[in-house]
Amino acid sequence: MGEPVKRIRGVRDILPEETHLWRFMEWIVHAVMSTYGYQEIRTPAFEPTELFVRGVGLETDIVHKEMYTFTDKGGKSLTLKPELTAPVVRAYIQNHLDREAPITRLYYLDELYRQERPQKGRLRQFNQFGVEAIGSPHPEQDVEIIALAYDLCSLFVPQGLTVRLNSIGSPEQRGEYLKQLREVFQPYAADLDQLDRQRLKNNPLRLFDSKNPETQALLEQHAPLISDHISSEDRQHYEEVQAGLKALEVPFEHDPRQVRGLDYYTRTTFEITSGKLGAQDALCGGGRYDNLVQQLGGPDIPAIGFAAGVERLLLVAGESLKEKVTLRKLDVYLAVLAEEARAPALVRAQELRAAGYTVILETLRRSAKAQLREANRSEARAAVIMGEEEVKKGTCTVKRMDNGEQEEVAVDQLATHLDGILHPVPSTDK
């Protein structure tokens, strides 16, 4: 006994009033992904911690402070997946998918875990759908990925979306930029908080991820822009990405301060934001990661992907989705009014289900009045009533819940009769 156990902060129960919206969203995601030729991949809930340290980067917020890491009984350090790109790339390498085709298009719909400070739109266990296209370095691949992300997000949130686009160039060219960034920030080092000081020392690009408003103000005033420091090849690539998006009429804005909070990005980065979300305004984020496959021990193959947050999309789309997506109504409430009817009612319920009807059978042995009230409450389209008389005669009473009409029908006519009520053939009379 004692107090009931409560769920921890930052996780959610998704109740039946909402699960049908999730299923609708999942169904759309699977359908749209397949129209783009992407195939689903599922990876384990946990991975060796090393995968994320090597893949995502030690200085990132995710690895530095948000991972759920534990040691198993064999002394191995494991981590609940805090993002999906590193696991998908690990699976791609381990299963030699590169040997099967020169390009691999994968998508996922999965749950992840980050020990963040919970707030609206920021959870500790949440869901993402996303894609990884592994194989092509060319801008049209970037355009396809961004268009797919935009397409999917717009299906749920048709208005107010912005694609924020940037190019952070290649790491080989980044040295000069990072040197300048460090020089500009050095005079302010003493004013930075400890984490940002550490970022300045080890990986100054990560200063852009800072949640400290003073650091953000300094960046705004002093930081050189990374997109001004990329090579001419990277610039050409970026221009082609922009031209492709224009051709597809995907609206975008160049956002020179957007670097995304993970170390593996190269060239194109992007986010899709919604004005309706407040501080946590990103619905989707992605970019190119041309070195990650090799960095994780695989072949030298370029790639690009994105991930979108299911909870945030539902937060923005929730009310309008609720209006659009209705639950299938219950067809039949099967009321059982006598002891003799219990066994035959179980059989009738199974027969009707096998014929494709949704059926709820009374199992509380309530009074006739209470059962009919329940049929009403459950919004069943018909009540099938079985009492002593009906069992004797081999019949059931069928009550239409829309107009209250009642009719007694033979058991072997039940499905046909219900069909007539529930799926009436439209009249051809004018």
What DSSP string runs through 11-22?
Answer: -----HHHHHHH
Nearer CB in complex with ligand AMP: 185/270: 270
281 binds ligand AMP (CB under 6 A): no
* Cα separation, 79 vs 289, whole angstroms: 22
Contacts of 123 (CB under 8 A, 6+ apart): 10, 11, 12, 116, 311
Q: Which of 284, 345, 380, 386 contacts ligand AMP by CB under 6 A?
A: 284
Tell me the window of 24-32, 69-77, 123-131, 327-335 that interacts with ligand AMP (CB under 6 A): 123-131
Q: Which of 128, 167, 266, 395 contacts ligand AMP by CB under 6 A?
A: 128
Q: Which of 110, 142, 196, 311 contacts ligand AMP by CB under 6 A?
A: 311
The three-state (H, E, C) secondary structure of 104-161, written as one string: EEEEEEEEEECCCCCECCECCEEEEEEEEEECCCCHHHHHHHHHHHHHHHHHHCCCCE
Binding track, positions 42-81, relative to ligand AMP; x by CB under 6 A: ----------------------------------------
10 torsion bin: left (phi>0), alpha (psi -120 to 50), beta (else) = left
Nearer CB in complex with ligand AMP: 114/381: 114
Name the nearest CA neighbour of 331 among 390, 377, 379: 379
Nearer CB in complex with ligand AMP: 263/311: 311
Nearer CB in complex with ligand AMP: 126/185: 126
Residue 52 contacts residue 349 (beta carbons within 8 Å): no
- What is the smallest separation between the CB atom of 280 and ligand AMP, expressed in angstroms? 7
283 binds ligand AMP (CB under 6 A): yes
Q: Which of 26, 98, 116, 151 contacts ligand AMP by CB under 6 A?
A: 116
Tell me the window of 147-155, 213-221, 308-316, 346-354 that interacts with ligand AMP (CB under 6 A): 308-316
Q: How far is residue 45 CA from its own chain's centroid?
A: 15
122 binds ligand AMP (CB under 6 A): yes
Q: Which of 38, 113, 126, 270 contacts ligand AMP by CB under 6 A?
A: 126
- What is the smallest separation between the CB atom of 232 and ligand AMP, expressed in angstroms? 29
* Cα separation, 163 vs 152, whole angstroms: 13
Tell me the window of 35-43, 281-289, 319-327, 367-375 that interacts with ligand AMP (CB under 6 A): 281-289
Nearer CB in complex with ligand AMP: 63/386: 63
Rounded (10°) angle between helices 213-222 and 174-185: 120
123 binds ligand AMP (CB under 6 A): yes
What DSSP string runs through 164-232?
Answer: EEEE---GGGHHHHHHHHHHHHGGGGGGS-HHHHHHHHH-GGGGGG---HHHHHHHHHHPPPGGGGS-H
285 binds ligand AMP (CB under 6 A): yes
Rounded (10°) angle between helices 85-94 and 49-56: 110
Name the nearest CA neighbour of 53 among 71, 74, 69: 69
Tell me the window of 94-102, 146-154, 197-205, 301-309 that interacts with ligand AMP (CB under 6 A): 301-309
* Cα separation, 355 vs 85, whole angstroms: 44
Token pair for residue 27?
A: 């169904």
Nearer CB in complex with ligand AMP: 128/242: 128
Q: Which of residues 136-195 bind ligand AMP (CB under 6 A)?
A: none
- Running DSSP on this structure, what letter comes out for residue 259? -
87 binds ligand AMP (CB under 6 A): no
- Alpha-helical (H) ranges within 271-394 are 292-295, 310-324, 342-354, 368-377, 388-393
Tell me the window of 19-27, 86-94, 139-147, 302-310 that interacts with ligand AMP (CB under 6 A): 302-310
Contacts of 140 (CB under 8 A, 6+ apart): 240, 244
Nearer CB in complex with ligand AMP: 66/374: 66
- What is the smallest separation between the CB atom of 264 and ligand AMP, expressed in angstroms? 11
* Cα separation, 359 vs 328, whole angstroms: 12
237 binds ligand AMP (CB under 6 A): no
282 binds ligand AMP (CB under 6 A): yes
292 binds ligand AMP (CB under 6 A): no
Residue nearest to ligand AMP (CB): 309
Residue ranges binding ligand AMP (CB under 6 A): 83, 114, 116, 121-123, 126, 128, 282-285, 307-309, 311-312
